Amino acid sequence: MENTNYHKAASAADAASLLSGAEDGQLIAGGQTLLPTMKARLAAPSDLVDISGVADMRGVTVSGSSVTIGAMTTHAEVAGDASLRAACPAICDLAGKIGDPAVRHRGTIGGSVANNDPAADYPAAMLALGATIKTNAREIAADDFFTGMFDTALDEGEIILSVSFEAPAKGAYAKFPNPASRYAMCGVFVAQGAGGVRVAVTGAGNDGVFRASDMEAALGSNFAPDALDGTSVSADDMLSDLHGDGAYRANLVKVMAKRAVAAIA
Amino acid sequence: MTTVSMTVNGKAVTAEVEDRTLLVDFIREHLRLTGTHVGCDTSQCGACVVHVDGKAMKSCTMLAAQADGAAVTTIEGVANGDLHPMQKAFNDNHGLQCGFCTPGMVMSGIDMVNRYKAEGKTLDEAAIRHELEGNICRCTGYHNIVKSISQAAGEM
Amino acid sequence: MSEGIGAPVKRKEDKRFLTGKGKYTDDIRMENQAYAAFVRSPHAHARVKAIHKATAEGMPGVEAVLDGHQLTGDGIGNIICGWAITSKDGSPMNMGAWSALATEYVRYVGDAVAVVIADSKEEAQEAALAVEVDYEELPVAAHIDAALAGDAPQIHENAPGNVVYDWEIGERDATEAALASAAHVTEMDITNNRLSPNPMETRAAIATFDEAEDHYTLYTTSQNPHVARLVLSAFYAVAPEHKLRVIAPDVGGGFGSKIYIYPEEIACLWASMKTKRSVKWTGDRTEAFLTDAHGRDHVTRARMGFDGDGKIVGFQISTKANFGAYMSLFSSAVPTYLYATLLSGTYNIPNIYCEVLGVYTNTVPVDAYRGAGRPEASYVVERMVETAAREMGRDPADLRNINFVREFPHQTPVIMNYDSGDFEGNMRQAMEAADWAGFAARKAEAAGRGKLRGIGMSCYIEACGIAPSQAVGSLGAGVGLWESAEVRVNPVGTIEVLTGSHSHGQGHETTFAQVVAERFGVPLDSIQIVHGDTDKVQFGMGTYGSRSGPVGLSAIVKACDKVEVKVRQIAAHLLECEADDLVIEDSQVKLPGTNKALGWHEVGLAAYTAHNLPADMEPGLKEGAFYDPENFTFPMGCFIAEVEVDPDTGKTEIVKFVASDDFGVIINPLIVEGQVHGGIAQGVGQAMLEEVVYDATGQQLSASYMDYAMPRADDLPSFVVAHHNTRCTTNPLGIKGCGEAGAIGSPPAIINAITDAIGNNDLSMPATPSKVWGLMQSAKIAAE
């Protein structure tokens, strides 16, 4: 990989100022996606601003059904947080399925959400939970945040501080991993809460994470796996690659959605 | 260039490295601890797993600078005396063939046993296989690696 | 506990690997070492118009930028294929030139055109990116069909139509006649998917040129350092053999891919002479996908005929084999003599005819990968027999059983002469371990859970112990395939065994020592196995083709025979008795029924002090031997896979896998079972996960672990491994070899199980979830 200038940020404000002073700066959190990308020379930032050590960006707070997760909280910490498991076990289960144990010890929720990899797990949770992404500049609703594959509403230099959401009455995540990479070939997060049913799909769509509105409607009137029988997503809107074509992924969306519902219905 | 200081296998080390230096390169090339291996470029194979502050991490997917101030343990540092119970279990059960993935397997094995013990959970065969998702072995078919970790879990 | 033959001795070599003290090539650092980085073609087929080196040459740390014109100008020879195959019409194979650094044309993505030598790895890599090459892109043939099409680009001038050879074996007319008269003929199109070997250690080399001595040293990731030295000197003219030392230190797996001498090793040696520095190269995983020889890649049409009783009467096979862009070292033998000669399987087949078309494509060279030809043969035979049983409504086990070879020696119509075996015995053992009889109940139970359960069998046979030199020489091999050994008893009685076999995971330091320990009744710890260094071991043909046991160990036994003769003579002289009356055991040479005995170490000391030796005896106690096998060995076995398919996702889970093998005499069951486990895992990989995928432009779409699915722990079950052994009759220890069996026998067992589960024989490997699901959908649509 190409050389870079490494900076350890003491705070989010420090990180913002380091970024603004850099020619082509890039935040690094756990680095579990960024470093392999840099090794492949697909990214070559002039400066890396490390926010993983910023203490007040890390940790889980649960107050009643209100959940806030600091952006630098690792997947292992999310998976293993007892208070969070009591409030919203589905997100703990999801975090425990990301990558492998070593990756989960370093990778962070903020990094995953900011990167918006089309096969990442967290974006599905954020969207289905109707989470709010809090940055150093504003709060952004998940529905407005994920704007396409590897694309988000974040502005240049904007830093995610935390994500927060109301724990749903019921939630579940069903994932079908890619046989090679083990990223989601299809991951469906289903949440049933005060605002109704939300179904978010990652790994399958050809423009990143999306909400399956037909499925939400069907489940809104009958929260049962069978309710999804008449629904479908279009194979044309799905990714197609050597691991499976659009029709296969469209099928997976339905199968995983049914399994998520079956787990909690 | 950046100065990094950390504890590796109980010894304090300080060095001036390029900012882009990966932790694995720091361990292998600067410290000449060559037991930690590199088997891929995409964070999949786990041959490079070390413990950073007691947790398994992929040293190929971490900058040396990010380990500044940390306590790092490599395969050379796990034994307290002859062989760690995990190392012994791999020998007892023929859990290695070419030996290249072995350091990462041992480091991941120790990490998973520690975590399961701390959480009071049972590390059965299915759990071991699941926990090994980030470690690839091409020689053993994992059969004897699973047996080795299972034995060590009972002895650690 | 015994440490001898048959004992499950824990490996002696483990400690260094378990403590991080293994010494792999990349762990070695030479004084004043420079690093090599290769400039590789991004195109699958192009003419190299110009290479602009000036920018790279001016970059920091750069020592040299070297290209193919300089390489050939220095007299470095082309890379060779060591086995000459003759086509049906008597013409020799069409071998295109392969230079370590391409000069005029590049023929696959990754083909090296230049090498940068620099002070650091990063400087070398950055300068390599700065070398600009002007390419004129040419049309690409990335697959067999594209290469054989009428408008296909010509990949090598001297291979018209991209055909390497059009070869045949067996009796065409007799086979056609048998098929014409058959009561039933099964016909299938069978693809054997292309694989990347993926040893976890990538290839690496460090070359050092000693100007004062005019001598080269190469540390490299090789399964056969002596063959590397021979080829590097005799054909590539890098250095004469006596001025080149090749060391293969600890090697992190090979599976065939480290047999060959690749462009990178040649370039590093040559560059060390050009730059007067040690030159090191360590490939990354992407380079491994792009440049390590791939395996398999056959397309076959086969017809198998049966009489009214279910006896096989004829078998006709037409195979197209992909060679990639160049002919690698053993490539020509893989789809011919290592494949077609095993097409009789475990069966009495009176008539066999096979024709093989070797084809160039714009892809990485294809060569031997674990099993090499025999997995392809086993897959064809066992898919055919299974499908035939289903078509004829016969029990697949019974159909196999009535066709099994039962008398030995058995001459097949395709060269091989099987020496031993009890094929039904292995099948019965496997069926019992798999509870074959209870399958129907398990299938019904699975159906209740919405799962499709299937069971499949394969009765493989392979030929290993490669190989009788005269026989392979008559078939075109350029080398003899014997093995050498030297046994040195030191004055204190400790023993060094030097072997031409090379261990890269096989555990020779333990198993070879077990044989010698038993032979001389000495402790295992008093024996050291020395291998992998051409300065220490006189010669060797290396480790592949499951040959280290049957061939390498036989050479050690032969050397031990000679040592024993001398030990007896010395002891008889000192004890004043007859040599033949002595017994060697428990670290002693003794005369039974008397108190006459010498310690083993006393004999050693006597040999070296030479104060009192028999008349005319030379001092010392060291003997060497070359062993040339009289026949191949024929490990066989029966594998049974039981699977459950999730009809909603197409995902297959292997719920049980049973192997019953006949390996002849087993030295160390712990190690043998480990070899079986690993082989099965690679077979499962081929059957369900792995495939190298090229697009039509010759780009490899699967060139990382993000897209090439390596078997992981949770893809596999624990295996049930059993043995039903019959002694090999053609080597002194009765060993058959065990390294490849798992990879050879398992793919057909798994595919037979999955096709049983889904009720559709039309499944190709790898049986990925999307493929299985897709097949079930098309069957559903067809049924509606």
Work out how many domains chain C is built from and give that number.
Answer: 3
Mean pLDDT on C730-759: 97
Determine the distance from the C-alpha atom of residue C84 to the mean position of all C-alpha atoms in its chain, rounded to a whole number: 19
Q: Taking CB atoms and an 8 Å cutoff, what residues of chain A touch B115?
A: 101
pLDDT confidence of residue C512: 97
pLDDT over threshold 90, residue B142? yes
Residues A114 and A28 in one domain: no
Please tell me the predicted confidence (pLDDT) of residue B96: 98
Asked if C312 and C458 sit in the same domain, the reply is yes
Residues 6+ apart with CB under 8 A from B64: B4, B17, B21, B22, B23, B25, B26, B30
Whether C187 maps to a domain, the answer reads no
Kindly indicate whether the ipTM for this predicted assembly is greater than 0.90, answering yes or no: yes
The DSSP call for residue B63 is: B
**Are C668 and C748 found together in one domain?**
yes
Q: What is the pLDDT along chain A (265 residues), one digit of tens a residue?
A: 999 999 999 999 999 999 999 999 999 999 999 999 999 999 999 999 999 999 999 999 999 999 999 999 999 999 999 999 999 999 999 999 999 999 999 999 999 999 999 999 999 999 999 999 999 999 999 999 999 999 999 999 999 999 999 999 999 999 999 999 999 999 999 999 988 999 999 999 999 999 999 999 999 999 999 999 999 999 999 999 999 999 999 999 999 999 999 999 8
Distance CA C760, CA A79 (A): 41
In a shared domain, residues C65 and C125: yes
Total structural domains within chain B: 2
pLDDT in tens, C166-202: 999 999 999 999 999 999 999 999 999 999 999 999 9
Q: Are C315 and C175 spatial neighbours (Cβ–Cβ below 8 Å)?
A: yes
Q: Residue B40 is which amino acid? A: C
Work out the minimum CA distance from B104 to partner chain A, whole angstroms.
11
Chain A residues contacting C via beta carbons under 8 Å: 2-3, 40-41, 176, 179-183, 242-245, 247-248, 251-252, 255
Identify whether C689 is part of a domain: yes
State phi, psi for C289 to the nearest 5 degrees: -65, -40
| Whether pLDDT at C783 is above 90 | no
- Cα gap C188→C384, rounded to integer Å: 7
First and final C-alpha spacing in chain C: 66
- What's the CATH number where C418 sits? 3.30.365.10
Tell me what pLDDT residue A265 has: 86
Measure C3 CA to nearest chain B CA, in Å: 15
Mutate to test the interface with C, among A33, A183, A188, A251 (most CBs of C within 10 A): A251
Partners of residue A248 in chain C, C-beta under 8 Å: 650, 769-770, 773-774
Q: What is the CATH number of the domain that holds B125?
A: 1.10.150.120
Q: Are residues C519 and C615 in the same domain?
A: yes
Q: How far is C170 from chain B (nearest CA, A)?
A: 36
Q: Give B112-137 pLDDT, tens digit per residue.
A: 999 999 999 999 999 999 999 999 99
Look at residue C195 and tell me if it is in a domain.
no
Q: Is residue C177 part of a domain?
A: no
C-alpha span between C463 and C476 (Å, rounded): 17
Compute the Cα dihedral for C468, C472, C473, C477 and give only its sign. Answer: negative
Domain around B67 = 2-77
Calculate the average pLDDT of chain C: 97
Contact: A179, C709; criterion CB under 8 Å: yes
Whether residues A103 and A187 fall in one domain: no
Residue C115's pLDDT band (boundaries 50, 70, 90)? very high
Position C1 pLDDT exceeds 60: no
Strand partners, C458: C639
The two tokens of residue A113 are 């959400």
B66 to chain A, closest Cα gap in Å: 8
Which of B77, B110, B144 marks a domain boundary? B77
Share of chain B above pLDDT 90, in %: 99
C779 pLDDT band, cuts 50/70/90, is: confident
Listed residues B30, B55, B77: the one ending a domain: B77
Structure tokens at C757: 């589960």
Query: Are B63 and B106 in the same domain?
Result: no
B2 at A interface, C-beta within 8 A: yes
Q: Shortest CB distance from A242 goes to which of C122, C126, C707?
A: C707
Residue C326 has pLDDT above 60, yes or no: yes
Same domain for A189 and A144: no
pLDDT band with cut points at 50, 70 and 90 for residue C778:
confident
C-alpha span between C405 and C428 (Å, rounded): 15
Distance CA(B125)–CA(C676), nearest Å, equals: 20
Contact state of C693 with A179 under an 8 Å Cβ cutoff? no
- Over residues C522-565, the pLDDT tens digits come to 999 999 999 999 999 999 999 998 899 999 999 999 999 999 99
Query: Between B and C, how many residue pairs show a Cβ–Cβ distance under 8 A?
Result: 177
For residue C317, the model assigns a pLDDT of 98
CA dihedral C169, C171, C177, C182 (to 10 degrees): -60
Last residue of a domain, one of C627, C660, C679: C627
Question: Which of B1, B6, B66, B106 has the most A C-beta neighbours within 10 Å, making it the best mutation to test the interface with A?
Answer: B66
Q: Which domain covers residue C571, as residue numbers?
A: 482-627
Flag whether C156 is in a domain: no
Same domain, A200 and A146: no
Do residues B42 and C285 touch, judged by C-beta distance below 8 A? yes
- Kindly report the nearest CA distance between residue A86 and chain C, in angstroms: 28
Helices (H), C481-547: 508-520
Say yes or no to pLDDT of C782 above 80. no
3-state SS, one letter per residue, for chain A: CCCCEEEECCCHHHHHHHHHCCCCEEEECCCCCHHHHHHCCCCCCCEEEECCCCHHHCCEEEECCEEEEECCCEHHHHHHCHHHHHHCHHHHHHHCCCCCHHHHHHCEHHHHHHHCCCCCCHHHHHHHCCCEEEECCCEEEHHHHEEECCEECCCCCCCEEEEEEECCCEEEEEEEECCCCCCEEEEEEEEEECCEEEEEEECCEECECEECHHHHHHHHHCCCHHHHCCCCCCHHHECCECCECHHHHHHHHHHHHHHHHHHHC
Residues B9-38: what's their mean pLDDT? 98
Domain match, A31 and A110 both = no
CATH code where residue B43 lies: 3.10.20.30
Does A60 lie in the same domain as A154?
A: yes
Whether residue C2 lies inside any domain: the answer is no
Shared domain for C512 and C612, answered yes or no, is yes
User: From B131, which residue of chain A is nearest by alpha-carbon distance?
Assistant: A101
Residues C77 and C128 in one domain: yes
Q: Are residues C313 and C438 in the same domain?
A: yes
- Which residue, C601, C627, C653, sits at the end of a domain? C627
Predicted confidence at residue C481, as pLDDT, reads 92
pTM: 0.97
C84 neighbors C92 (Cβ within 8 angstroms): yes
Angle between helices B85-92 and B143-155 (to 10 degrees): 140
C270's CB contacts (< 8 A; 6+ apart) are C66, C71, C74, C76, C100, C238
Mean pLDDT over C575-586 rounds to 96
One domain, residues C443 and C300: yes
Residues 18-47 of B with CB under 8 A from C: 18, 20, 28, 32-42, 44-45, 47
pLDDT of residue C545: 87
SS3 sequence of A14-60:
HHHHHHHCCCCEEEECCCCCHHHHHHCCCCCCCEEEECCCCHHHCCE
A247, closest residue in chain C (CA to CA): C774
Number of domains in chain A: 3
Question: What residues make up the domain containing A117?
Answer: 55-166
